Every structure is written in structure tokens, then in C-alpha cells.
Structure 1
């Protein structure tokens, strides 16, 4: 098996094990058994997820729990409040964490806010080791990354392209709808987004985006690999949103 794919599979296995074990903190042995991994392997992946702040370590006995909220490296009040359209699905954070681990890039999820001027609004994120660099970005860029009109960037384009007849007479949106993803500049200088739509049944429910330095996307092989990873994640999350189970239930 490809090493990268194996790493992703083990990361996802640990996250799914945590979800199946339910709320609260769990022992490493219970996590390893539920993930069907050797204890040493489970320990390595659990520690990596603690470093990525997807899991937290609790108590002197080293029990582990899913992080109660995604880490946001901004002062209080700088992140937009969650809207009633928030995805509210634990699987979203888990899949974003796996996408970030697989690619090494910031992974984000957005939802549409279609009151007044249509917006794309940040719902969840997996920052990995990029938290400090993102925190150092200009405030205006961060605010636009968090919330902006759908026309702003690829994260909104993939939503707009699948809203009713918005793509009619607009070749760029029609192409995005046909290709299933979009690539374009973001509010963060020097970074592009690779985005794919999220679906709840036949209704577009948001987007998944990967923030990548523009220079890295000059390589066609890299572009194709990262676009495939984003679309795979979007497809899995669309399945969760369309057929939510007890552990992936949404407030919507």
C-alpha cells in the first residue's frame, strides 16, 4: 500500500474510532482496539492528532478526547460567530483534519449564507502547523478569508456555480460545475484555494477548500493530486450530510 494512503487511512481510523467511542475521554487501548491498530501505531497517530489539536490529552492516565472546538488563532471576537447554517457535523472536522494531514495544507469548510448578498462563511478548519503564520496575516485578509461574497474566490465560486441557474450564461461557473472543483486566488497574498462543493442530497450545502501557495500549483501533477484530494473529501462529507448517522447528526 502507498505510504501516504496508509497514513491517511490510519489517521481516519483513529478519528472514526474516537467518534464511535462517543463523548468523553478514552484510553489509548480502547482507541487502538476500536481503530483495529497495534497499540504503538495508535499511540503515534494519537500523538500526531494531539499536536494538530484535533484531540486533547486529559488527566494523568493519558486519556484522549476529541477537541471540543477547532483551534482558531485569533483574538476573541475576530472569528465570525457560527451562523444558523453551520454544518454542525463532527465528521466535517475529522475529514478536514485527515485532508490537512494528507496534504500538509490548511483545510477549510464553508457554508452559504443566502440572506441579502450571498456570502460564504467559515464553518470549520484544520490548520496543522500553519496556525502562527495565519495569525500573522493582515486583519483584512483574515476577515475576508472568514466571510466574503460568493464571487470573491474559489471557495464561493463552487457554491455559486451550483445555485439554481447562476451558471447560465456564465462560462466560468458552468466550467466549474462540470469539473467539480475550482482553483483561484484567495484573500491571503500568495495563496490559492482549491475548492469543491458539499452537497446535502441535491442541494449545495457549502464547500471544502485547501489553501496552497501559488508557486506550488505551477506543477500540473501537484494540482491534479491536490484537487483529487479535495474532491474526495467533499464527496465523503456530502455522504455524511446526505445520510447522517447518530454520530454525524447535524443541527440542520
Structure 2
């Protein structure tokens, strides 16, 4: 038995990772019994592993007795290249876009069949969005997701097209229609959604390229497009090119602060409701 584990073929490391993997967006707080069940380990094993993980800082115990992901995992996660590289380079551009539009701004990469949100800026006046830093949302229902899906490998596209859950009455859940939209995204180099992930929210997004490859997507969420879609897409494309240059260029050329001239004209018209 690997690592003297009580379960054949499972090492102590694999079981500890299973305990950590029991947490996701829908399961942020877990009691010991539920945690053991989701990890597929006996309660006694979970109790021992959880004790060690709490002592190390990977998990924390709340006042109600449930467990949550600990701060130490967050600290380590921030060391991942997706944060230290892409996130740092993109940050000034995200702040420019947010300052100019007041819209929720997203930076995302593809993680399997989901869009992983690397960074997000929003204020009290921003349109409510379900995204959060570190969250994963469906590729087919978000602006950044459609951009990433349009440039994903064929097997990923096929898997997503085979399973298109309807999240709102306006979510595109027909494979043929989504396939045509993805072709249009590749042709026009941007994607849009209208209330497909959240009612009352529209999004526009563009690809970020480095070395000729799409490595991420940059998007905004607004209440409506009206006549501002072209302006928003243009601003996103300018920012995306800057981020791409920062990823591939020398360190001296990378933006270090938000003191540059904004990529978007400030004081744009108020955005209120979704529209074409």
C-alpha cells in the first residue's frame, strides 16, 4: 500500500490533496463528515489530515466548526506564474479601463473547459457580476469565455459544445449557433454576450496574444452597449495589445504603474440596460 495508506493505491499525499480538492465554488465551507465524503476518505482519516492541514495553514476552522481554505494556500497561489507574470503586467491596463469606464473589468485564462478569472476590478456603481478572482465560469456564457473557447483546441471546443447548460433564458445552448458565434469571434477578434451569464449584464471581450498565441482574454461587463460597443471593444483591443507586448517584450518595456495616459476616453455616457 502506497505510503502505508489504509486504502490500496492511495498515498498520504494523494489523500491530503483530495481533502483540499473537496473545496470548490459551491463548497467553500465543509463540515468534517461532508469533507470526508467529498474527498473519498474515511472520517477518521479526514480528521487526521484536516488537523495537519489546519496546523500548517492550508485550512482554517470557523466558529461553526466547518473548515475553509486557509490563508497560506492563498499566499502560495499568488506565486503562480499566472499571477506573478500575467497579472502584474495586466494590472495597469485593467485600472485604466476601470477608471475610464466604471465597468467591471475581467482578466481570464482558460482552465480546461472553464474560464479562470485571474483579476477583476469593480466598484459600487459597476453592474453586478458573478465573477470573482479565482472563480471559474462556463466558457460558452461569458465574453472572456467565448474568446478563449474560440481559440481553444478542437477537443476542448467539442467537449464544451456537447454540454451547454442554460444559465439564463438568453444563454446560447444550441451547438450550431454557438459554433457560428465562435467563427465570428475569430473573424472579428472580439466577443460579446447579452444577459447570457447574468440578467441585466452585457459583456465584451478580446484576446490577449503573446508569441502569436492567445494566452488570455480581457473583458468588461456593462449594463448595455447602445452605441458604445465599438468604443469599448477598441479600448479593450488597445489594452490587450499593450499586455501582449508586456508579456513578450523586455522587462524594461513592461508597464510599472498606472500613471500612463488612459487607453479610454474618460467620462463616457451612462450605461443602463442591455441592448444590441
TM interval, shorter chain, is 0.5 to 0.7
Alignment pair present for 1:88 and 2:84: yes
Alignment deviations for residues 39-95 of structure 1 (CA, whole Å, 9 cap, x no partner): xxxxxxxxxxxxxxxxxxxxxxxxxxxxxxxxxxxxx869x9658462434231111
Distance, in Å, in 2 between the alignment partners of 1:176 and 1:145 is 25
Q: 1:195 Cα deviation (Å)?
A: 0.5
Runs of 5+ consecutive residues of structure 1 not aligned to the other structure? 1-75
Alignment pair present for 1:206 and 2:216: yes
Runs of 5+ consecutive residues of structure 2 not aligned to the other structure? 1-67, 159-175, 256-276
Query: Contact 2:105–2:220 (CA<8 Å) still a contact in 1?
Result: yes
1:226–1:143 distance in 2 versus 1, CA, 3 Å: closer
1:248–1:88 distance in 2 versus 1, CA, 3 Å: farther
Matches within 5 A, 1:81-230: 82=77, 84=80, 86-89=82-85, 90-114=88-112, 118-130=113-125, 134=128, 141-142=130-131, 146-165=135-154, 170-184=179-193, 185=195, 187-213=197-223, 216-217=224-225, 219=226, 221-230=227-236
Tell me the matched-pair count: 161
Distance, in Å, in 2 between the alignment partners of 1:228 and 1:119 is 25
Give the aligned partner of residue 12 of structure 2.
none
1:206–1:240 distance in 2 versus 1, CA, 3 Å: same
Compare 80-89 and 93-102 and name the one that shifted more. Answer: 80-89
Residue 225 of structure 1 aligns to a residue whose secondary structure is helix
Distance, in Å, in 2 between the alignment partners of 1:146 and 1:160 is 17
Query: Contact 1:199–1:242 (CA<8 Å) still a contact in 2?
Result: no
Q: Pairwise CA RMSD of aligned residues? A: 3.4
Alignment pair present for 1:241 and 2:247: yes
> TM-score, normalising length from structure 1?
0.54
Q: Which has the larger radius of gyration?
A: 2
